[in-house]
Protein backbone atom coordinates (compact mmCIF):
# COMPACT_ATOMS: atom_id res chain seq x y z
CA UNK A 1 0.00 0.00 0.00
CA UNK A 2 2.84 2.39 0.73
CA UNK A 3 4.06 2.08 -2.85
CA UNK A 4 0.78 3.55 -4.07
CA UNK A 5 0.91 6.71 -1.94
CA UNK A 6 -0.09 9.44 -2.51
CA UNK A 7 -2.16 8.17 -5.43
CA UNK A 8 -5.89 7.62 -4.85
CA UNK A 9 -6.82 4.06 -3.93
CA UNK A 10 -10.07 2.41 -2.83
CA UNK A 11 -10.10 -0.87 -0.95
CA UNK A 12 -13.47 -2.63 -1.16
CA UNK A 13 -13.97 -5.97 0.55
CA UNK A 14 -17.09 -8.04 1.23
CA UNK A 15 -18.21 -7.87 4.87
CA UNK A 16 -18.66 -11.61 5.20
CA UNK A 17 -15.09 -12.64 4.29
CA UNK A 18 -12.45 -13.37 6.90
CA UNK A 19 -9.83 -11.54 4.81
CA UNK A 20 -11.76 -8.28 5.26
CA UNK A 21 -10.74 -8.04 8.92
CA UNK A 22 -7.08 -8.55 8.06
CA UNK A 23 -7.22 -6.07 5.18
CA UNK A 24 -8.88 -3.49 7.43
CA UNK A 25 -6.17 -3.85 10.07
CA UNK A 26 -3.47 -3.24 7.43
CA UNK A 27 -5.41 -0.29 6.06
CA UNK A 28 -5.63 1.22 9.55
CA UNK A 29 -1.85 0.94 9.92
CA UNK A 30 -1.07 2.59 6.59
CA UNK A 31 -3.81 5.24 6.60
CA UNK A 32 -1.80 7.66 8.79
CA UNK A 33 0.81 7.91 6.03
CA UNK A 34 -1.83 9.49 3.77
CA UNK A 35 -2.44 11.99 6.56
CA UNK A 36 1.29 12.79 6.62
CA UNK A 37 1.04 13.55 2.88
CA UNK A 38 -1.99 15.76 3.73
CA UNK A 39 -4.30 13.80 1.45
CA UNK A 40 -6.38 11.43 3.61
CA UNK A 41 -9.32 11.75 1.21
CA UNK A 42 -7.33 9.89 -1.44
CA UNK A 43 -7.83 6.53 0.22
CA UNK A 44 -10.82 4.72 1.60
CA UNK A 45 -11.79 1.29 2.86
CA UNK A 46 -15.31 -0.01 2.32
CA UNK A 47 -16.72 -3.28 3.57
CA UNK A 48 -19.72 -3.80 1.29
CA UNK A 49 -22.74 -6.06 1.50
CA UNK A 50 -22.47 -7.48 -2.03
CA UNK A 51 -20.55 -10.62 -1.12
CA UNK A 52 -18.28 -11.71 -3.94
CA UNK A 53 -20.16 -9.59 -6.48
CA UNK A 54 -18.32 -6.61 -7.91
CA UNK A 55 -19.98 -3.38 -6.84
CA UNK A 56 -19.72 -1.30 -10.01
CA UNK A 57 -21.58 1.72 -8.58
CA UNK A 58 -19.16 1.95 -5.69
CA UNK A 59 -16.18 1.78 -8.06
CA UNK A 60 -17.76 4.18 -10.55
CA UNK A 61 -18.29 6.83 -7.89
CA UNK A 62 -14.67 6.51 -6.81
CA UNK A 63 -13.35 6.74 -10.37
CA UNK A 64 -15.64 9.66 -11.15
CA UNK A 65 -14.15 11.53 -8.23
CA UNK A 66 -10.51 10.83 -8.94
CA UNK A 67 -10.32 10.44 -12.70
CA UNK A 68 -13.11 12.52 -14.16
CA UNK A 69 -13.06 15.58 -11.91
CA UNK A 70 -9.30 16.11 -12.13
CA UNK A 71 -8.32 18.36 -15.02
CA UNK A 72 -4.73 17.13 -14.91
CA UNK A 73 -4.41 13.52 -13.68
CA UNK A 74 -0.64 14.03 -13.28
CA UNK A 75 -1.47 15.97 -10.10
CA UNK A 76 -2.57 12.74 -8.48
CA UNK A 77 1.00 11.46 -8.57
CA UNK A 78 2.25 14.18 -6.25
CA UNK A 79 1.43 14.90 -2.67
CA UNK A 80 -0.28 18.26 -2.05
CA UNK A 81 2.79 19.62 -0.19
CA UNK A 82 5.06 19.32 -3.24
Cα 29 to Cα 59: distance, rounded to the nearest angstrom: 23
Sort 43 into a burial class: Cβ within 10 Å, 0-12 / 13-18 / 19+: buried
- pTM for this prediction: 0.68
Q: Per-domain residue ranges for the chain?
A: 9-77
pLDDT digits (tens, 9 = 90+) for 2-51: 677 888 888 888 888 888 889 899 889 888 988 888 888 888 898 877 66
Q: What is the pLDDT of residue 57?
A: 81
Amino acid sequence: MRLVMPRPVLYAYPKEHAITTLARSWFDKVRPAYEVFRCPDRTNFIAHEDGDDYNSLLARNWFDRWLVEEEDAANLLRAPVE
